[in-house]
Amino acid sequence: MSRRLVFGVLAAGLSLALAGSAVAQTLPDRLQAEAGSVGRRIDGEVVPEGWTLSQSLSPAVFGVAVEPGRTKEVCFFSGENVLCRTLSSGQIHDLVISYEGVDYPTRIEAVQPPAVFDAAYQDEYRGRTTILIPEVYELVNIAIALTPSALANPGLAYRDTPYYGEVMSHFERFKDDPLIIALDAELKQDALKYFRLKMNGYAFEYDDSGHIVRSQIYDRTGFVIDAVNTLAPYHALLQAFSDRSGFRDFYIAHRPLYDEQIAYLRDEIDVAGATEWLQGNFPAVRPYDATKIIFSPLVGANQSLTTFDSNGFRELQPHVNFPYSRPGLEHLTPNDLALVRGTILFTEMNHGFIKATPELRSDIEKVFADRAFWTKAGSAGDLYSAPESLFNEYMNWALVSLYYHDKADAVDRDELVERVNPVMERRGFTQFTAFNCYLLDLYANRPEGATLADLYPQIVAWTVAYQAAPRPSQPVQ
């Protein structure tokens, strides 16, 4: 029996009293779908990725992390049809989703939380921003860089540095190692597996004996929707590659470089200011108690974010590249140069805050379901398959413009804002320039005291009207 395990967005657990509520017990065990993909919510939070119905999965299993002693309300929805269940630790709920006369058996299953933050961890990290190049994480990035997939795709490993040359000089003779072959097979099957393989490297560490062991804190550090650690099957291969290649000696020899890059992010990039700006504009988002920035000198153009919520403690964890300086920025003020170099980190932090209220999601789903209008097929827009996630990526980079508007020095402000539009157009977000111009004007002229979250109804209404407006190539209805 094939099973699909997908872990849902972490949210604060509901009280156990909800488990016996009359509403939860009287809901039907069958959902009538209006399309081949349905939506999901956990404790009221929408999971960005759609749930695609497939007859090859029986049942399709939606894994939701539930801490012992807690519960979560899990809902599947399609149009106005909603089916909810309250899930306790260790529980499963079976249901059926029907679409066009076909039944799709589905299971909601409680799985192990991705992280457990005990009192000692909370005391150590509360209120802190920690910046790390973790040792096993770097081992994984080096292994990925050696794969034929990465050699053919510069987005999987950044090459234009002396460090990359030193990595290849030391490790290239191990390119036929079983770990490299195994990781390359994963990447050839699906290049997007890169994110999870890399990110989950942080869920491993070296013990005092030099053995690679599972983290005492994190079961997995991939995306919040994941139910398993996709790197775990390669645990033994990681150890063998580390021993065979002399990785730990290489890592120690390059600690000065790692420390230098960590210091740049710590001292030059205003992480605290970005957090304050985001929290101020999205005041309904429960504040994060800690931020951990995880990166590697080898990471290329592929960034990601995961978040954790354990025992009431929330952690924001961007996985990013190092912002190497690029030519053409020398004329910027020091403040604005740091803004530009911190942009990618800012765009990942954004994802921990951007969200639409439930009453706006119906319009977002309808408008951004028209992918041909909003994004170019075969572009980066394909990574955002759900309508709300596509809308969120539009918002994500529009926030960069708004952040530049508020934070950049006047001498560079217009230039920095203008730089965002071609970036997004090249990524295939075909309506971004119009979207960005509207948001900039709306934000710059907002009522005193209004936050960006307050402007969401106007933003969504604009997307509805903009999409419906006749275009020169369209006949007027």
Q: 5 falls in which pLDDT band (50, 70, 90)?
A: very low
What percent of the chain is predicted at pLDDT more than 70?
92
Residue bearing the bigger pLDDT, 299 or 23: 299
Could you count the other beta carbons within 10 Å of the beta carbon of residue 252?
Answer: 10
Paired strand residues for 294: 132, 319
pLDDT at 66 over 50: yes
Residue 267 and residue 246: Cα distance in Å, rounded? 32
300-319 pLDDT tens trace:
989 999 999 999 999 999 99
Residue 101 and residue 373: Cα distance in Å, rounded? 31
Maximum Cα interatomic distance, the chain, rounded to a whole number of Å: 73
- Show Cβ contacts of residue 134 under 8 Å, excluding neighbours closer than 6 positions: 201, 202, 205, 294
> In the chain, where are the structural domains located?
5-111, 114-353, 356-472
As a whole number, mean pLDDT of residues 222-228 equals 88
Paired strand residues for 86: 73
What percent of the chain is predicted at pLDDT more than 90?
76
SS3 296: strand
192-210 pLDDT tens trace:
999 999 999 999 999 999 9
Question: Residue 314 belongs to what H/E stretch?
Answer: strand 313-321
pLDDT at 471 over 90: no
Q: Looking up tokens 């978040």, which residue turns up?
A: 307
Residue 226 has a pLDDT of 86
Give me 371's structure tokens. 């992918």
Give me 207's structure tokens. 């013990």
Q: How far is CA 202 from CA 133, 135, 386, in A?
A: 9, 8, 27
pLDDT at 23 over 70: no
